[in-house]
């Protein structure tokens, strides 16, 4: 992902790539060669990079377990005004809150690469919903592969469509019988959960297993109709149907390269830094969706509904594996 972040900055007239850091110097040198970074800007220690090059913006593309420490080290640097970090936020809920609070106190803009908010099909779907195509939003249904590594995109987008506000509670259950680690983080094999946002909009997620429960990537149910993104039984990118209508209205959206939304997210980061506008992929919005993710796993651990705010610091799924309550093979 670091190359895709860099391509985003490379496209912007007001940005210049000045340095990179990687634990393996050969990888850092290869990256520098691709983006015309001088040898003096190649580092194996990111703290040395910060001290010697004084960057305004830092992009972080490392495994989630290390996000918080690196983000906060960057935030403490005198030169850094903005940090753009890969998703998910962090391996634990406590660290997710810690780095958001640390950047807020330091006055540093912190964003996460929930770049699918800029995916053309998703943008078009949100505009249709906001324009009243299905009436007032009542329920959201999601079917990602998991709730954490990939599902963070759908849960973040759903939270955005619901008004970028916190959830009130979540109740969920998971199955984790086969080891499934992505970038050092456990991800459940199957989950089912229901939560409610503060404005009364309900959401459900079903991961893994049979997609027939939610036969689309996402479904939005309103008081006057339904809209689906990636419907299972249609080649349309999205479709909607008003209550009482027999036929769907299908739409195909020009998507471009899959990396374009990553570049658009980077441009949004820079635009917001310059304008002072609040980024839609900022830490506050990311916390809303991340609380739901860890809340689902915490509900499975407690075997009951979890009311927010979520008052834990760990990762419930990781903790259940470490304790032996879950034993994926």
- Tell me what pLDDT residue 158 has: 98
Give the DSSP H/E element, type plus range, for residue 142: strand 137-142
* Domain membership flag for residue 329: no
Quickly list DSSP for 147-175. SSTTHHHHHHHHHHHTTS--EEEEEEEEE
| 152 and 56 housed in the same domain | no
C-alpha separations of 56 from 59, 75, 253 in Å:
10, 11, 35
- Tell me what pLDDT residue 132 has: 95
* Domain membership flag for residue 33: yes
- Tell me what pLDDT residue 211 has: 62
Tokens of 252: 């195909």
| 181 and 295 housed in the same domain | yes
| 234 and 152 housed in the same domain | yes
Query: By residue range, what is the domain housing residue 157?
Result: 117-256+288-323
What angle do helix axes 46-53 and 67-75 make, rounded to 10 degrees?
20
What's this model's pTM, rounded to 2 decimal places?
0.95
- Tell me what pLDDT residue 233 has: 87
* Domain membership flag for residue 159: yes
| 111 and 124 housed in the same domain | no
| 55 and 16 housed in the same domain | yes
| 190 and 309 housed in the same domain | yes
| 158 and 65 housed in the same domain | no
| 156 and 299 housed in the same domain | yes
- Tell me what pLDDT residue 210 has: 67
CATH code (residue 8): 3.40.50.720
| 219 and 303 housed in the same domain | yes
Quickly list DSSP for 41-62. GEES-HHHHHHHH--SEEEE-S
Regions of the chain where pLDDT drops below 70: 210-212
CATH code (residue 301): 3.30.360.10
- Tell me what pLDDT residue 219 has: 97
| 83 and 11 housed in the same domain | yes
| 295 and 156 housed in the same domain | yes
Question: Could you give the number of structural domains in the chain?
Answer: 2
């Amino acid at each position: 992902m670091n190359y895709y972040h860099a391509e985003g900055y490379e496209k912007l007239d007001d940005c210049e790539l000045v340095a990179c850091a990687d634990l393996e110097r050969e990888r850092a040198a290869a990256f520098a060669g691709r983006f015309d970074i001088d040898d003096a800007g190649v580092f194996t220690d990111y703290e040395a990079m910060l001290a010697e090059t004084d960057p305004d913006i830092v992009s972080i593309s490392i495994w989630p377990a290390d996000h918080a420490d690196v983000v906060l080290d960057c935030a403490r640097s005198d030169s850094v005004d903005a940090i753009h970090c890969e998703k998910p936020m962090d391996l634990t809920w406590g660290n997710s809150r810690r780095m958001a609070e640390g950047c807020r106190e330091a006055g540093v803009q912190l964003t996460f690469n929930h770049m699918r908010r800029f995916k053309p099909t998703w943008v078009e779907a949100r505009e249709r919903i906001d324009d009243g195509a299905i009436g007032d939003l009542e329920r959201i249904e999601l079917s990602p592969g998991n709730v954490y590594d990939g599902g963070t995109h759908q849960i973040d987008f759903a939270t955005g469509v619901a008004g970028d506000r916190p959830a009130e509670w979540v109740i969920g259950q998971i199955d984790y019988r086969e080891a499934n680690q992505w970038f050092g983080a456990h991800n459940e094999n199957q989950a089912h959960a229901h939560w409610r946002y503060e404005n009364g909009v309900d959401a459900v997620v079903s991961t893994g297993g049979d997609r027939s429960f939610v036969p689309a990537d996402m479904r939005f149910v309103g008081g006057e109709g339904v809209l689906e993104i990636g419907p299972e039984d249609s080649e349309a990118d999205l479709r909607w149907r008003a209550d009482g209508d027999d036929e769907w209205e299908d739409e195909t959206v020009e998507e471009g390269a899959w990396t374009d939304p990553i570049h658009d997210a980077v441009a949004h980061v820079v635009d917001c830094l310059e304008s002072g506008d609040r980024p839609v992929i900022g830490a506050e919005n990311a916390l809303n969706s991340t609380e739901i993710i860890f809340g689902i796993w915490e509900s499975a651990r407690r075997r009951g509904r979890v009311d927010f705010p979520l008052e834990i610091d760990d990762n419930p799924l990781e903790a259940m594996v470490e304790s032996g309550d879950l034993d994926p093979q």
